[in-house]
Amino acid sequence: MTDVFSDTSAACGALAHKDKTLARALDAIGAPHIRRRPGGFEALFRIIVEQQVSVQSAQAIWARCLANVEPLRPARVLDLGEPGLRACGLSGPKIRYVLALADAVDGGAFDPAAVANMEDEDAAAALQSLKGIGPWTAAIYLLFCEGRIDIWPPGDVALLGAYKAARLRGPLPDMAAFDAKAARWRPWRGVAAHILWTYYAHIRGREPI
C-alpha cells in the first residue's frame, strides 16, 4: 500500500479549507505528527492494552508486557494465560480479548497480514470479528499500522477535546455530532485525526507520540 501519509500538505490544505477549526489547529502545530507502527499480532495486542486508559497507564502496562511476554507471539501468550497477563497489569476483560486474539492467530482463524489486502470496510469488519475489537480499535490499527487515509476512530475523547479547544465560534459538538461531522472531512479523515491528536498534545504541552 502506498504511504499516503508521507506528504500530507495537500490533504492539510484541503481540510483547512473545509473547516476553520482544523485550520486553526494547523496554524498552531504547523503539520500533523503521523503515528506509524508495524502491523500484526503485537500491534493488535498493544492497541487492546491502550483501550480506555490514559497514555501514561498504557505505556506502563505495555512496558511490562514487553518485559514479561518473551517472545511476544501468540503461542507464548497462550502459554502464560490469565495469570501471566494479569501480572502485566491487564484487566480481566482485556485478558480475555488478548487470549482470544492469540488463539485466533495461533490457530489460523485470523491472519493480520490478510487485512492489508482488503478494502477499508472489509478490513474493519474482519478486525471487529475478533472479541474485544470494536470500531475504535479497528480504526486505530488501520490508521497506525496500515496508513489508511480515510479512516475515522469513533468515540475518541482526545479528538473531541482537541476540536473543542480549537473552536472559536458556534456550538461545541457532543461526541455523536462530532463523529457525524467527521464525514465532511472525507477523503482525508485519517489526516484530520492526526491533526487533532497533534493539536491535543500541543495544548497539553507535551510531544506527540
Q: What is the pLDDT of residues 115-172, one digit of tens each?
A: 999 999 999 999 999 999 999 999 999 999 999 999 999 999 999 999 999 998 888 9
- Which three cell numbers mark 48? 487492546
Specify whether 30 is located in the same domain as 45: no
Last residue of a domain, one of 125, 144, 163: 144
- pLDDT confidence band for 19 (50 / 70 / 90): very high
Last residue of a domain, one of 144, 163, 191: 144
- Which three cell numbers mark 157? 475523547
Specify whether 167 is located in the same domain as 139: no
Last residue of a domain, one of 95, 116, 144: 144
Tens-place pLDDT, residues 43-63: 999 999 999 888 889 999 999
Q: Which H/E stretch holds residue 16? A: helix 9-18
- A 10 A CB-CB count for 166 gives 24
Of 183 and 207, the structure prediction assigns the larger pLDDT to: 183
Tell me the Ramachandran region of residue 120: left when phi exceeds 0, alpha when psi lies from -120 to 50, beta otherwise.
alpha
Among 1, 2, 18, 6, smallest CA distance to 192 is for 18
Classify burial at 172, counting beta carbons within 10 Å of its beta carbon; exposed 0-12, middle 13-18, buried 19 or more: exposed
What secondary structure letter does DSSP report for 184?
G
- Considering the domain boundaries, does residue 124 fall inside one? yes
CATH number at residue 159: 1.10.1670
CA angle at 43 for the pair 202 and 89, rounded to the nearest 5°:
85
Specify whether 130 is located in the same domain as 53: yes
Q: Is the pTM of this model over 0.75?
A: yes
Helices 20-29 and 189-203 pack at an angle, to 10 degrees, of 50
Query: CA 100 to CA 201: how far, in whole Å?
Result: 33
The alpha carbon torsion through 180, 181, 187, 191 (nearest 10 deg) reads -110
What secondary structure letter does DSSP report for 155?
T
Q: List the domain range (segments joined by +) for residue 80.
A: 41-144
